[in-house]
Structure 1
C-alpha cells in the first residue's frame, strides 16, 4: 500500500467510526479521534493509560498523567514530525484555536479543510479554520 493509500484508508476508517457520533469528553473528542487515526497508521498510542475523563478539566488531568500539558506537546512527544501547514497531506494532524485548555487537534481533509468538532454541530464536520497553529505529518 502506498503512503497516500495508507492515509486514505486511515481517514476512511476514522470517519466511519466517528462521523455520526456526538462529541463527548473522554469518548468522542479530538484526542480520541486523533489517537484512533494514528493507531490505524501504526502508531502505538497509549491514551488508555491516561485514564477516564468526562470534562475539559478531566482531559487536562488525563493528559498530565501521560506527562504532557497539551495535545501539541503530546504530538511532539510521540514522535510526529512538525511540518509547515502549507505542506500538509491527507490525514496529517493540525492544531487550531479552540476553547480547550489542552488544545484542539483536527485531521487534514485536503484543500485547506480539516475534519474536527464544532460547537454548532453534534459530530465531526469539515472545517475551514481561520488559522492553523501547528501541523504534524503522520507518515
Structure 2
C-alpha cells in the first residue's frame, strides 16, 4: 500500500508542475516530465536531466550525441530491464506514446496516472489524456 501512496504523491507532483501549462522545450517537454516523475519516485535520470536544449532540434541533437537513435533507446538506457507492457503500467510509470510516422523522437514520453489515463503533451499543452497508440512502457 505504501508504494501506491508514494506513486500517487509522485503523479500529483507531476500534475502540479506540468498540467495545463504550455509546452516549452527544455523547460516543459516530455523528457522533463519523465525526469520529474522519476525523481519523485526516487530514481535518478541523468540522461534526461543533463539535457539543456532550448529547441526540439537541440533535444534531438542531444539524444543523438549521447549515442541514441530516439527517446525509446534513451529510456531503455535510463531504466534498463524495466520495460513492461503499457497495460501493466502503474501510476508514475513512464509510457511512450506513438507519434506520426517519421517523427525523429520515435515517441512522446508520458506519465501513467490512474484509470488508464496519462499526463502528456498534446496541442502544445500538458494535459490529462486517454492514450490511443502505445509504443512501450517502463516500470519506475
Cα displacement (A) at 1:95: 0.8
Q: Superposed, which structure 2 residues align to 1:67-82 within 5 Å?
A: 67-80=67-80, 81-82=82-83
Any unmatched runs of 5+ in structure 2? none
Cα displacement (A) at 1:123: 2.8
Q: 2:132 aligns with which of 117, 130, 133?
A: 130
State the partner residue of 1:111. 115
Scaled by the length of structure 2, the TM-score of the pair is: 0.86
Q: Superposed, which structure 2 residues align to 1:77-88 within 5 Å?
A: 77-80=77-80, 81-88=82-89
State the partner residue of 2:97. 96
- Total equivalences in the alignment: 135
**SS across alignment from 1:101:** coil
Q: Distance in 1 between matches of 2:50 and 2:131?
A: 31
Scaled by the length of structure 1, the TM-score of the pair is: 0.86
State the partner residue of 1:31. 31
Q: Superposed, which structure 2 residues align to 1:41-56 within 5 Å?
A: 41-46=41-46, 47-50=48-51, 52-56=52-56
State the partner residue of 1:4. 4
